[in-house]
Amino acid sequence: MTEGYHDRLLGDLLAQAFGELDADTLAVLREQLSWVEVAGGQTLMQQGEPGDSMYLSVSGRLRAYVSQDGEAARMVREMGRGQVIGEMSLYTDAPRSATVVAIRDSVLVRLDKAQFLRLIEQQPRVGVALTRQIVHRLQTEHAPAPFAAPVVQALLPISPGVDAAGLAQGLARELARFGRVRVLDAAAVQAAVGPGGDDSERYRQVSLWLDEVESAHDYVLLVADDGPTPWTQRCCRHADEVLLLADAAQAPVVHVSERQCLVERPPRTEAAEILVLLHAADTVAPRGTAAWLARRPVADHFHVRPALPRDVARLARLQARRAVGLVLAGGGARGFSHLGLLRALQEAGVEVDCVGGTSMGSVMAALAAADQPLDRVMDVARAAFRVNPTGDFNLLPLISLIRGQRLRTALDRALGSLVGADAGIEDLWKPFYCIATNYSQASEALLTHGRLERALRASTAIPGALPPVILDGDLLCDGGSFNNFPVDVMRARRGVGIVIGADLSLHKARKLEFDEVPSPWALLRDRWRPRGRRRYRLPALSAYLLNATILYSASRRRAARAACDVYFNPPLERVGLLAWQRFDAIVQQGHAHALEVLAQPLVRSRLNP
Positions marked catalytic: 359, 478
Dihedral of CA atoms 289, 294, 298, 301 in degrees, nearest 10, equals: 10
Amino acid at 45: M
**Residues paired with 499 in a beta bridge:** 325
81 vs 515: CA distance, rounded Å = 63
Under 8 Å between Cβ of 58 and 109: yes
Phi, psi dihedrals of residue 487, rounded to the nearest 5°: -70, -35
559-598: b or e for each residue (b if 16 or more CB lie within 10 Å)?
A: ebeebbbbbbbbebeebbbbbbebbeebbbbbbebbeebb
Q: Which of 302, 365, 370 is nearest to 339 (CA)?
A: 365
Q: Is 320 helix (H, G, I), strand (E, B) or coil?
A: coil
Amino acid at 227: G
Q: Which of 186, 150, 152, 159 is nearest to 306 (CA)?
A: 159
Mind giving me the DSSP string for 477-526? EETHHHHSS-HHHHHTSTTEEEEEEE-------PPPS-SSPPPHHHHHHH
Q: Please report which helix (H) or strand (E) contains residue 64, including its range.
A: strand 62-66
Count the residues in the chain.
609
203 vs 365: CA distance, rounded Å = 48
Q: Which of 433, 539, 545 is nearest to 496 (CA)?
A: 433
Q: Which of 221, 209, 145 is nearest to 179 (CA)?
A: 221
605 vs 609: CA distance, rounded Å = 5
147 vs 153: CA distance, rounded Å = 14
353 vs 325: CA distance, rounded Å = 6
Mode of pairing for the β-strands spanning 272-278 and 300-304: parallel
414 vs 406: CA distance, rounded Å = 12
176 vs 171: CA distance, rounded Å = 9
Mode of pairing for the β-strands spanning 432-438 and 566-568: unpaired
Q: Is 94 helix (H, G, I), strand (E, B) or coil?
A: coil
